[in-house]
Amino acid sequence: MLKKLFYLCGMISWLASTAAFAASADIQQTENTTIQLFRHNDNEMIAKVSMKPDWHIYWKNPGEIGKPTLISADNNEAEIINQSVPQIHTVYELMQEYIYENTAYFALHTDNPNPILTFDFVECNDVCQPDSLTFNTADISPVTEHEWQKIKTEAEATFPQKITLTSPLHHNEISFPYTEDADIAFVPAEHDVVEPETVTFEKKDDIIHVKWLNTDEAKLQQALIITPQQAYLADITYQNEQLGEIVYILLLAFFGGIILNAMPCVFPILSLKIFTLIKQRRRRKPWKEALQYTCGVVFSFWLLTACIVYLKNQGEAIGWGFQLQSPLFVAVMMLIFFVLFLSMMEWLHFPAISNRFIYRWASVNAFATGFFAVLIASPCTGPFMGAAIGYAFMRSNTEIFGVFTALALGYALPYALIELYPQKIKQILPKPGKWMTRVKMFLAIPLLLTAIWLGAILYKQLGTSTASSADDLQWLPYNSEEIMQLNEEKANIYIDFTADWCLTCKFNEKLTLQGDNFRRFVEENNVRLYVADMTEDNDEYINALNTYGRSSIPTYIYYSNGSYKVLPVFFGINSLQN
């Protein structure tokens, strides 16, 4: 009787354990570690790993001791899209380890449906023991959308923000803006690639420079940068530079300045330039006019750069073209251009002394022409210019001034050369006469249009800005969390950094973004569209620009298959497809 009772109890216990296992196929556990797998669809999952108090497992780089936590699939390699930021522990004051205590999350992606996932890890306390847990995902039902969003929010709160940083090819160094005095941590994502004792930090002009030496020829591909406010997972790309790096960047800035003369932003200011050329025939020292114009351009660039450096050193997030984000600046510029329009139309007359001053320094003097040309043109970005500005904003104050000086000289060069050779203009234009008054009035029209344009910007700044890239496409406000989520899903994403005061942006909207080819591409490829409206000052958007290595607009970003690329200022559909 007792024997039968014993067998009966054993059978009941076995059935209960089997039922419990079947009911919880999404949960597996060892003596000290529990893993719960949340399934969203065939390819997207989140693993929640919980450890008993005083027990831990290791990050993908365990540090000087330990073993990395690995996840594999039977029918393909499981990809860890993101995982929680580890804790940094120092053992016996000698060795560092990067571990997970209490809870950690892993965002997973698999190419094939229903894989068998295996988690290999080492769980440690005073002793360590290797272990593994296996999940047959075919037995796990997808959670509800509400449950998925809840666990995803929990997980993303522990994930680092993904960024891309550039290092010279021949020495390891990354740089990024950081204005706080608090300590930061640099954690290599690969094991035994970096010699820990060689990692150094140098803060200069609110830029943190991290340098290190490799243990062998392998290059570090990823690293965690942990600050008290935010953790970043940096993909590190390497560029061949050494001595030629700064020369290359300066050449980019110089040629970008030349091309900037052809940008739509500069069109409204051309009237002042052309009118100066018409008056050129009366001058005896063309080299002086060329020098004055160049000095006006350089001085204006230096003034704006000094403001940027000052605000940057005060901890402000700021980008090139910031001045048109100020309603006060826009109002002053609108008034100046309107007064210039009235003066050139001869509808506004000043006392003799002031009239001569305004005429000389606003309409004729080359210095003033160069100065005002920069104030209007500087918010826009031309080819080559964006990369140079993005580089400058990540470097020291000296390098910022160097890059913008090269940009200024390039911008001044074409018109300065015309100033130097006025005889070429004399061969084209007729002799002085009444026609000059008519031309002056005709050239006053762009000044009026500029004043109206600035007035429209001011109206939107004082009200509600509605900058968008196209009228009949669904554009959403920039949202870094949504974009990160969609990128993890390998969705196609297009981001437009724009503003009402950026004429190049508006030109591209009419030329490309509102065209049938772009609309067709968006619909056929299910592209998600986001717009970052920088008409007014917005720290979030400026910081987002910095993560893409840019500090000026227009900037266009396209994500596809889990990675992104920065598009040219003037791009075609081929740039999106390639």
Give the pLDDT confidence score for residue 60 in this predicted structure. Answer: 92
Give percent of the chain above pLDDT 90: 18
Domains of the chain: 27-156 (2.60.40.1250), 161-239 (2.60.40.10), 244-317+350-445 (no CATH), 475-577 (3.40.30.10)
pLDDT at 87 over 90: yes
CA-nearest of 123, 151, 157, 109 to 52 is: 123
Give percent of the chain above pLDDT 70: 71
Give the pLDDT confidence score for residue 382 in this predicted structure. Answer: 56
What contacts 416, CB < 8 A, 6 or more positions away? 290, 291, 293, 294
For residues 184-199, average pLDDT: 86
Give the pLDDT confidence score for residue 499 in this predicted structure. Answer: 80
CA-nearest of 547, 463, 457, 459 to 505 is: 457
Contact 117, 71 (CB under 8 A): yes
Q: Would you give the distance in Å from CA 85 to the centre of its chain?
A: 22
What contacts 437, CB < 8 A, 6 or more positions away? 346
What contacts 337, CB < 8 A, 6 or more positions away? 268, 447, 448, 450, 451, 454
Contact 124, 55 (CB under 8 A): yes
For residues 4-12, average pLDDT: 47
Q: Residues 215-225: pLDDT tens digits? A: 777 788 899 99
Q: Residues 153-177: pLDDT tens digits? A: 999 999 998 888 888 776 788 888 7
Find residue 100's DSSP bridge partners: 57
**43-57, 463-477, 506-520, 546-560 — which one is most confidently predicted on average?**
43-57
DSSP 56-68: EEEEEEEESSS--
* CA atoms of 204 and 490, how far apart (whole Å): 37
For residues 373-379, average pLDDT: 65
pLDDT at 214 over 80: yes
Q: Which position has the higher pLDDT, 570 or 568?
A: 568
For residues 296-325, average pLDDT: 69
* CA atoms of 253 and 167, how far apart (whole Å): 20
pLDDT at 202 over 90: no
Give the pLDDT confidence score for residue 132 in this predicted structure. Answer: 92
pLDDT band at 468 (very low <50, low <70, confident <90, very high): very low
pLDDT band at 100 (very low <50, low <70, confident <90, very high): very high
pLDDT band at 494 (very low <50, low <70, confident <90, very high): very high
As a whole number, the mean pLDDT across the chain is 77
pLDDT at 88 over 70: yes
Q: What are the tokens at 73? A: 């699939």
Give the pLDDT confidence score for residue 215 in this predicted structure. Answer: 79
What contacts 400, CB < 8 A, 6 or more positions away? 305, 308, 309, 392, 393
- What separation, in Å, do the N-terminal and C-terminal C-alpha atoms of the chain show? 78
CA-nearest of 415, 378, 328 to 552 is: 378
C-alpha angle 530-532-515 in degrees, rounded to nearest 5: 55
Which one-letter DSSP state was computed for residue 129?
Answer: E
Positive/negative CA dihedral, 376, 547, 523, 153: negative
Give the pLDDT confidence score for residue 18 in this predicted structure. Answer: 39
Give the pLDDT confidence score for residue 11 in this predicted structure. Answer: 47
Give the pLDDT confidence score for residue 23 in this predicted structure. Answer: 39
Looking from the CA of 103 toward its CB, the CA atoms found within 13 Å total: 12
Give the pLDDT confidence score for residue 56 in this predicted structure. Answer: 93
For residues 64-84, average pLDDT: 86
* CA atoms of 240 and 217, how far apart (whole Å): 16
* CA atoms of 140 and 569, how far apart (whole Å): 47
CA distances from 153 to 75, 146, 158, 483, 485 (A): 29, 11, 9, 14, 10
pLDDT band at 21 (very low <50, low <70, confident <90, very high): very low
For residue 351, whether the previous peptide bond is cis, meaning omega lies within 30 degrees of 0, is no
272 membership: H or E segment, kind and range: helix 270-279
pLDDT band at 471 (very low <50, low <70, confident <90, very high): low
* CA atoms of 400 and 551, how far apart (whole Å): 12
For residues 359-388, average pLDDT: 62
**203-212, 420-429, 442-451 — which one is most confidently predicted on average?**
203-212
pLDDT at 289 over 90: no
CA-nearest of 344, 382, 84 to 233 is: 84
Q: For the purposes of burial, counting CB atoms within 10 Å of the CB of 345, is it exposed (0-12), middle (13-18) or buried (19 or more)?
A: middle
- Helix, coil or strand: residue 81: strand
Give the pLDDT confidence score for residue 104 in this predicted structure. Answer: 95
pLDDT band at 120 (very low <50, low <70, confident <90, very high): very high
